[in-house]
């Protein structure tokens, strides 16, 4: 039974890795739909907690999220299945297409493809922010922390790590 769950985790993250563009933040909505809604492996709250941990730990958020989700679902083997699954397709595609992309990067058609992908990636990132925000911001205190950190990062230009530390401190004080 456990081996089937691990295979399912692997195949789920292969699908996520194969059809997600724009990096980890753009993948979050897709990961949430597969992990929380389709397979019901985690609750929304657990998923948001995993995203927070994945953003605070070193490394790409997609791999960190896959690792944490896999671990929460099926332990170490689930973590391995999620990590390998989410990276194997992009690793394979990049390995075999890098030479072609580098050779053709200045061609108008290649530039057009990447110009077309940029707004889609932004849309996916905003979608992920809205999806996570619905669960992460649960009251007025959360809204205040959100806007304060947003202001400090965008206008005052504090380092994002400082924003994380400040928000954790505010969480301790306010909750």
According to the model, what pLDDT value does residue 41 have?
Answer: 92
pLDDT in tens, 60-117: 888 888 999 999 999 999 999 999 999 999 889 889 899 898 999 899 999 999 899 8
Do residues 110 and 50 share a domain?
yes
Do residues 101 and 166 share a domain?
no
Do residues 82 and 153 share a domain?
no
Do residues 141 and 127 share a domain?
no
Q: How far is CA 23 from the centre of its chain?
A: 7
Do residues 147 and 61 share a domain?
no
According to the model, what pLDDT value does residue 22 have?
Answer: 66
Domain count, the chain: 2
Query: In this structure, what token pair is assigned to residue 12?
Result: 């789920």
pLDDT in tens, 133-159: 887 888 999 999 999 999 999 999 999
Do residues 131 and 170 share a domain?
no
Percent of the chain with pLDDT over 70: 98
Do residues 105 and 145 share a domain?
no
Structural domain including 48 reads 2-136
Do residues 89 and 145 share a domain?
no
Do residues 107 and 29 share a domain?
yes
Do residues 160 and 82 share a domain?
no
Reference 86, options 156, 23, 157, 170; nearest CA is 23
Do residues 81 and 7 share a domain?
yes
According to the model, what pLDDT value does residue 53 have?
Answer: 85
pLDDT in tens, 5-35: 999 999 999 999 888 766 677 788 888 899 9
The one-character DSSP state at 34 is I
Give buried/exposed letters for 90-104 (b at 16+ CB in 10 A, else e): eeeeeeeeeeeeeee
Model's pTM, two decimal places?
Answer: 0.66
According to the model, what pLDDT value does residue 49 have?
Answer: 87
Do residues 40 and 116 share a domain?
yes
According to the model, what pLDDT value does residue 28 have?
Answer: 82
């Amino acid at each position: 039974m456990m081996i089937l769950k691990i295979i399912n985790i692997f195949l789920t993250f292969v699908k996520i890795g194969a059809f997600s563009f724009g990096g980890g933040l753009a993948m979050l909505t897709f990961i949430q739909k597969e992990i929380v809604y389709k397979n019901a492996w985690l609750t929304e709250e657990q998923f948001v907690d995993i995203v927070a941990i994945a953003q605070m730990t070193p490394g790409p958020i997609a791999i960190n999220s896959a690792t944490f989700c896999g671990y929460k679902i099926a332990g170490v083997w689930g973590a391995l299945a999620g990590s390998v699954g989410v990276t194997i397709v992009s690793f394979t595609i990049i390995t075999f297409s890098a030479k072609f992309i580098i050779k053709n990067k200045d061609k108008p058609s290649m530039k057009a493809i990447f110009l077309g992908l940029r707004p889609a990636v932004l849309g996916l990132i905003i979608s992920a922010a809205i999806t996570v925000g619905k669960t992460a911001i649960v009251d007025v205190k959360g809204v205040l922390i959100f806007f304060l950190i947003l202001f400090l990062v965008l206008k005052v230009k504090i380092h994002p790590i400082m924003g994380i530390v400040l928000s954790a401190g505010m969480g301790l004080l306010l909750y």
